[in-house]
Chain A
Amino acid sequence: MKKLAMAKSVLFPEFKVIRDTDRCIACQVCVRQCANDVHHYDQDDDTVSCQDERCVGCQRCVTLCPTNALEVKKREVGFHPNANWSVQHIRNLYKQSETGGVLLSGMGCDQPYRIYWDHLLLNASQITNPSIDPLREPIELKTFLGAKEEMLDIDWNQDFPVIKTQLAPQLELNLPILFSAMSYGSISYNAFHSIVEAAREVGTHCNSGEGGLHPDFYPYGKNIIVQVASGRFGVHRDYLQVAGAVEIKIGQGAKPGIGGHLPGEKVSLEISQTRKIPEGSDAISPAPHHDIYSIEDLQRLIFAIKESISYEKPVSVKIAAVHNIAAIASGAIRAGADIVAIDGIRGGTGAAPQVIRDNVGIPIELALAQVDERLRQEGIRHRASLVIAGGIRSSADVIKAIALGADAVYIGTATLVALGCHLCQKCYTGKCNWGIATQDPYLTKRLNPSIGKRRLVNLMRAWAFEIKEMLGGMGVNSIQSLRGNKEHLRTVGLTREESQILGVKPAGEGW
C-alpha cells in the first residue's frame, strides 16, 4: 500500500502504552515479544521506551511483563463529543483518504447490534418435575449430524427385530459443539494442530476451512470436515478421501456475498504447497463458485462430491445468514445437503473488508429460529442437521441455540480466544503476537500445540458440564429432548415482533 509522499498522516495512535517506571526493570521481554516493534531499549539510559502509534492493543507485552509494569489502553482522542461521527468513522475516513484502499479487519462484527442470546432465558424444574443431578445420573449430549429417515423399515419376524433401512452416513459427536472452519493459512500450523488434537480427544470434529489440508493432518482425517470453497484450494482426491465429511462453502457470516481472502504476507512456502498456489501471492477466493450460479448447480456439485466419496460421508453446505435464509436453507436441503451450516453476522474471519463485516448479514439467532420453523412447516426438517455459528460465547449460548432448533454449534472466535487471542482484529497483517493468525516462524513458535490442545480440551470439558447442569435443571436428561423445544426459553426485553420471529414466548407467560 503506497503512502502519499511527504504529506503528514493525520492518523492518531489507537492505543496508549503506559509504563509504570517504578516497576519497570528494563528486562526487555516486551521489546523481544512485540511483533510490531513498539518497545525499544536504550542502552545508554538502560530504559525501555515505546512508539505508541505502532501498538495494535494485543496485550502480549502486558501479559508477559514479569513485574506487571505495563498497561495498554485505548487512547482517548480529544474530539468534541459527537454521537453521529464516532471516532471510528473519523479514523476510517482519514485512513481511506490517505491510502485509497478498502479497509480490512479481522475477527467478527464488533458493532453494538442487539445480541439475542442475551435476551433469552432458560427454564428450570420445580416440584412437579424434579431436576436431574448430573453428578449422579447420566445426562446425554451425544449428537448425530446427517440426514435422517422419517420412518424405519423393520423386520419383526426375526428372533430380534432387524432394521432393514440403510441409514444415511452420520457424524457422531460426543457433545453438540464443533470447531469452526479456520483455514491453515489464516491460522498457523500450530494453531491448527492444537484444534485437530483437541477435536480427536474430545470426540468431536473440526473444519479445515478453505485452505486445504496439510498432509501431516491426514491421520486426524476422521475428525475433520474438509471444505470445498469457491477457490477450491487444496481440493484433490486424497483430501476428500481422508475426511470425515465434506462441506461446500457458499458463504460465511463475516462477509456474505464475497469470497475468502488470505493476504500474500501470510502465504508462506508451506501454505503455497497446501493450497497449490504461488508463494507470496494473495489467495482470494472468488465470490460465487465458478460452477454454481443457481440451486440446480449446487445439486450437481453435491452429488458430484457424493459420487466421489461413494456416498459414505455426509455432505454439508455452509451458508451465511442473510434475509432470505429460510428459503435458501430449504433449497440447499432439497438439493441434497445432509448438513446445513449457517453462519451469522457475528462470525469471525482472518481478513474481510470492515464495511462488509459490520453491515452485511443478520444475527444467527433470528436466522436459526426462522430456518427451523420453515423446515418444519415444509416437513423436511429431518432431512438435514442444522449447525449454527457466529458469536457463540459460552455454554449458555450453546444451550439456547439447541433449544431454538440447532443440532449443534460451531465455535470459531471462542476457540481462538481459548488459545490466547485477544481480539485485536489485526489478523490480516500476519503479525499475530500470539502465534495464532500468522505464518511467521518467529511468531508461530509462541503457540505450543500441547498447551493449545490442553486449553481447548479444558474448555470443551467445562462447557459440557455446564450444559449438563442446565439440562438437568430443566429436568431433561438427553439433549434430543431439548432440541427445538422452545417451551424452555423465554425472551426478556424484546419487542413482540422479535419474540414472534424467534417463536419464543415473553418471560412471565406460563405454559
Chain B
Amino acid sequence: MMKKIVIHEEYCIGCRLCEIQCLVKHSSSGKIIKAFREEYPRPISRVHVEEEGYLSFALQCRHCEDATCIENCMTGAMHRDEKSGAVICDEEKCVGCWMCIMSCPFGVIQREKKERKIASKCDLCGNDGEPACVANCPNEALSYEEN
C-alpha cells in the first residue's frame, strides 16, 4: 500500500519551514546554513505553500495514480518507482522539455538549473522514513499515511 502525504490545511501556519527543509534535504551538503549561503545556484524546494488570506497549505506532487506527467514525458525520465509507488524524475534522462510542467494539473513541477536544465518535483525524500516536510512541520499540518 502506498504511503502519501496528507494535507491538513486547517493547521498550516504559513511558516514555510516545509519549503526550507525540503530545500535542505535536496541540497548537496544537507546542512542548512551551507545550503542557503554557499551552494550556487541555491537548491529549490519541491513543496510550495499556497496562501490566500489566513488559509494556507503546503502543496507537493500528489503522485497521481493516472499521472499525466508520466504519459507526456518524451524520454521516459518521469516514471513510477516499483517499491514505493511514487512518481520519480530520473535526472539523467530528463532533457528539460517541460512537457510535464505544462501538463501537471497541480502545478507542482518546477524548472531547476543544476549542471543543466531539469524538471524538479517531490520524490517523497527517497522513501527513506518520513519526508522532510512532514517531519519538520511545527504544527503537524502534514502527515505521511497509507491511503
Mark A residues whose CB is within 8 Å of B. 22-23, 25-29, 32-33, 64, 66-67, 440-442, 445-446, 448, 450-451
B20: nearest chain-A partner, CB-CB:
A27
Do B13 and A446 touch (CB < 8 A)? yes
Give bound CA distance, A22 to B33, whole Å.
9
Chain B nearest CB, measured from A310 CB (Å): 39
By a CB distance below 8 angstroms, the chain A residues around B16 are 27-29, 32
Give bound CA distance, A441 to B140, whole Å.
17
- The answer to the question of B36 belonging to the interface, with a C-beta cut-off of 8 Å to chain A, is yes
Decide yes or no: A451 and B139 within 8 Å by CB, A33-B15, A445-B12 being known contacts: yes
Chain B nearest CB, measured from A29 CB (Å): 5
Do A29 and B10 touch (CB < 8 A)? no
Do A445 and B17 touch (CB < 8 A)? no
A26: nearest chain-B partner, CB-CB:
B36
Do A445 and B33 touch (CB < 8 A)? no
Chain A nearest CB, measured from B78 CB (Å): 30
By a CB distance below 8 angstroms, the chain B residues around A440 are 54
Decide yes or no: A29 and B15 within 8 Å by CB, A441-B54, A445-B54 being known contacts: yes
Which residues in window 88-143 of B have CB below 8 A to A? 138-141
- The answer to the question of B83 belonging to the interface, with a C-beta cut-off of 8 Å to chain A, is no
Chain B nearest CB, measured from A66 CB (Å): 6
By a CB distance below 8 angstroms, the chain A residues around B140 are 448, 450-451
B9: nearest chain-A partner, CB-CB:
A445
Decide yes or no: A448 and B20 within 8 Å by CB, A23-B33, A64-B138, A66-B32 being known contacts: no
Give bound CA distance, A15 to B17, whole Å.
25
Do B21 and A445 touch (CB < 8 A)? no
8 contacts between A and B (CB under 8 A): A22-B33, A23-B33, A25-B33, A25-B37, A27-B36, A28-B16, A442-B14, A448-B140
Do A448 and B141 touch (CB < 8 A)? yes
- The answer to the question of B11 belonging to the interface, with a C-beta cut-off of 8 Å to chain A, is yes
Chain B nearest CB, measured from A394 CB (Å): 26
Chain B, interface size category, equals 10 to 19
Q: With A27-B16, A64-B138 given, can you name 14 additional A-B contacts, CB distance below 8 Å?
A: A23-B33, A26-B36, A28-B16, A29-B15, A66-B17, A66-B21, A66-B32, A440-B54, A441-B54, A442-B54, A446-B13, A448-B140, A450-B140, A451-B139
Chain A nearest CB, measured from B108 CB (Å): 21
Do B20 and A29 touch (CB < 8 A)? yes
Chain A nearest CB, measured from B35 CB (Å): 8
By a CB distance below 8 angstroms, the chain A residues around B37 are 25
Give bound CA distance, A23 to B36, whole Å.
10
Do A32 and B15 touch (CB < 8 A)? yes
Give bound CA distance, A33 to B20, whole Å.
15
By a CB distance below 8 angstroms, the chain A residues around B11 are 445, 448
By a CB distance below 8 angstroms, the chain B residues around A442 are 14, 54
Contact of A445 among B20, B32, B36, B139 (CB under 8 A): B139
Give bound CA distance, A450 to B36, whole Å.
33
Give bound CA distance, A442 to B10, whole Å.
10
Decide yes or no: A446 and B139 within 8 Å by CB, A25-B32, A66-B32 being known contacts: yes
By a CB distance below 8 angstroms, the chain B residues around A446 are 13, 139
Chain B nearest CB, measured from A100 CB (Å): 34
Give bound CA distance, A23 to B29, whole Å.
16
Give bound CA distance, A26 to B42, whole Å.
13
